[in-house]
A and B are shown apart, each in its own frame.
Chain A
Amino acid sequence: MYSGGYAGKILRINLTERTSKEEPLQEQLARDFIGGAGFAIKYLFDEVKAGTDPLGPDNKLIFACGPFTGAGVPCSSRMSVAGKSPLTGAVGLALSGGHFPAEMKYAGWDVIIIEGRAEKPTYVAITGNSVRFRDAARIWGTLTFDCQQIIKDELQDQNVRISCIGPAGERLCRIAGIINERRALGRKGLGAVMGSKNLKAIAIRGKESIPIASEERYRKSRAALLKAFKESPVLYPEFAQHGTPMVVEVTSAMGILSAKNWTATGQFVPEGLSLESQTTRKIGKEHCHDCPVGCSQLKMARRGDYAGILSEGPDFETIYAFGSNNGIDDIDSVIAADRLADELGLDSVSSGVTIGFAMECFEKGILTLKDTDGIDLRFGNDAAMMKVLRKMAFRDGIGDLLADGSLAAARKIGKGTEKFAIQIKGLELAAYDVRGAKAHGLNYATAYTGADHCRGYAFQEIFGVPVPHPVDRLAIEGKGKLTVWNQDIQAVTCDCAPMCKFLLDMAIPQIACQNTADLMEAITGLPFTPEEVMRVGERLTNVAKAFNVREGFTRADDTFPERLMTEPLKAGASKGQLISKKDLDAMLDEYYSERGWDVKTGMPTRAKLAELGLEYIADALNL
């Protein structure tokens, strides 16, 4: 039995019945899935039946932490939240750092499962074993930062940690996120799931500590980790100072910073989004719980209509979504949009990309001033972007058309616009024009959550990290095998254990599995080898894939927006690049083959599921 790391308990909250109950965390679950996304997706497969309405009471929201969280492992305060995504119909998984995850462990919970639907607006206050259902009528309609402050005041506890939704989640916008302090569980519309449950917020407070199975071994493994941090040429010297925004200049130089709804990648030079322009806006930095790095940048807009607006961020993805993707070369506009999206409870990536899609429709004359409530929605018009962003959260006019993401909007607009809705499985593409980074593209096509950079980030292509081997970003061959490795190692080390994504490529790529195995054994007392660690990542990916297969997803869904397969990049260091349908098929064949899945259908096979101890899933899929 595990003897450390885990709180050992699962909390099940039923909003319909206003009840809660405690369940033990089973050892087999810990061995098979480690924690975090592994737990969340296992429960999702087991408890949310095929065909469930994502915005109905039968969908669930599953918050899950891993054994490293709260145990003092550096950069391990991360939580996974899973549910069936109302945006994609597939697995919805979002992760966030901050302080809530560690607080959840200190409150005594590894997993919190939210079921049913409250009769009226409610928030849940959890203090250790105490679960209170509180009236949220007074705070329904508030922006997320105000909501958190009101709850803190109401509970008379300024240190309570809160995850909540804003107006977007309340109005069931399918690109609504959950806001955790000033951070976001942004993607896949899980804010709408929370809104559908009439759940405005979860406030949590705890005082327990997390036991460690072997202090001596733990100290040794932790020291190895911290040594790798210090030896990294980038983690402290650069990343701790600049955070993710430094990627703007690098991707731009590589010709893969997506611009103007992916029509001007390589042509758009982001002078106004450069590191220099961002440095002049920086007023401080934030650390997640147990993080010695502090990559999160506090920035304040300095000029024009946005002067004085503060945001924690914007991170690289948001700079792409509200900046280059919308033809906006002004960091102050992006800071303001980032803050507004967080306050409204909208995913900044999907919001920005959906607005970029609408801008292209407007420039092509498909949407007119009549459709946009008189807003001149051309690329580069930051004021228009801000107006539309606000309208999206309130489903007002043009905002209602765009509130459910680009694919839903394209289907309503028609006229062939689906071809340039930049989404896969309904999820808007994260940054990086993958026509110039093929494995990164294959990950977008195959990730179980849609076009998600957080599943199998190809850091070999984007940053040149030569682990497990040097990679030619423009080659097709070998990308299937690489993507499997990327998805599985990131699933287990970053999403299950968990640890911050940024450490994997920057500091510990070569020792990640060994170090995770060592820490698992030291903290939990459960023996793990590096191979078993990787096997957990593979198991998680297979369960998630099985969920999607059960929902009707096939190989045909593992694809790209047409633009990426037919329109070569026009300028920059990736000029001429695209991923043709033939190249995509070649990569998919290699990917499925490497996974041990059926190459023709892209489905897991009974043999593979049995090898992973998942026969019951093979039965559920009638394989």
Chain B
Amino acid sequence: MKITLQTVMGLKQVVGQRLVEIDLPQGSTVEDFVAYMKKRWGDKLSPHLIDPQNNQVHPHVRIMVNGQTIQFLNGMQTLLNDGDEVVILPLVSGG
């Protein structure tokens, strides 16, 4: 299934563009999605997504699936479907 990844700022620099299409097997979860990202982009994700101390997503990074923060879905176990859009946001402020 095809999942669209949308990134901003530093993570966008790492993945190379704002929108990236990612192919994953049916039944994949957000956890699988992040694992795919780790495999593809490796240590470059450290400052923007993965905490190298514990290999987990930084607590201040927000992951959204179709606009909803996964915390209000099923967390990292949220199931993805074909055509879903995953947005990964760093902590920012101002405005």
Contact = CB atoms under 8 A, between A and B. Distances in A.
A453 B95 CA distance: 8
A245 B7 CA distance: 16
A431 B58 CA distance: 28
B57 to A, nearest CB: 12
B17 to A, nearest CB: 11
B54 interface: no
A239 B93 contact: yes
Which of B8, B12, B68 has the most CB atoms of chain A within a 10 A radius of its CB? B8
Given A250-B8, A275-B9, A573-B64, A234 B93 contact: yes
B93 A505 contact: yes
Interface residues of A, number: 45
Contact of B95 (A253, A254, A269, A431): A431
A295 B92 CA distance: 13
B91 A573 contact: no
B50 interface: no
Contacts of B95: 244, 247, 315-317, 431-432, 453, 457, 462
A249 B8 contact: yes
Interface residues of B, number: 25
A487 interface: no
Nearest to B47: A237
B86 to A, nearest CB: 10
A473 B68 CA distance: 8
Interface in B1-56: 6-9, 12, 18
Given A250-B8, A254-B87, A573-B85, A463 B92 contact: yes
A506 B8 CA distance: 19
Interface string A574-595: 1101000000000000000000
Nearest to A475: B72
B74 interface: no
Given A253-B89, A573-B87, A464 B62 contact: yes
A254 B62 CA distance: 11
B66 A246 contact: no
Contacts of B77: none
A502 interface: yes
A249 B12 CA distance: 10
A351 B95 CA distance: 17
A246 B92 contact: yes
A457 B93 CA distance: 11
B66 A239 contact: no
A233 B67 contact: no
B91 A234 contact: yes
B89 A250 contact: yes
Contacts of B66: 573
B92 A254 contact: no
Given A472-B72, A474-B67, A243 B89 contact: no
Contacts of A36: none
Interface string A235-262: 1001100011111011011110000000
A82 B40 CA distance: 55
Interface in A139-155: none
Contacts of A465: 91, 93
Contacts of B60: 233-234, 464
B43 to A, nearest CB: 18
A315 B95 CA distance: 7
A465 B93 CA distance: 10
Contact of B92 (A234, A457, A475, A574): A234
Contacts of B8: 249-250, 252-253, 275
A106 interface: no
A436 B67 contact: yes
18 contacts: A238-B91, A238-B92, A247-B92, A247-B94, A247-B95, A249-B9, A250-B89, A250-B92, A253-B7, A295-B94, A316-B95, A436-B67, A463-B92, A463-B93, A464-B60, A464-B69, A464-B91, A465-B91
Interface of A: 233-235, 238-239, 243-247, 249-250, 252-255, 269, 275, 295, 315-317, 431-432, 436, 453, 457, 459, 462-465, 470, 472-475, 502, 505-506, 572-575, 577
List of 9 A-B pairs having minimum Cβ-Cβ separation, nearest first:
A244-B94, A573-B67, A249-B8, A506-B93, A464-B62, A472-B72, A316-B95, A247-B95, A234-B91
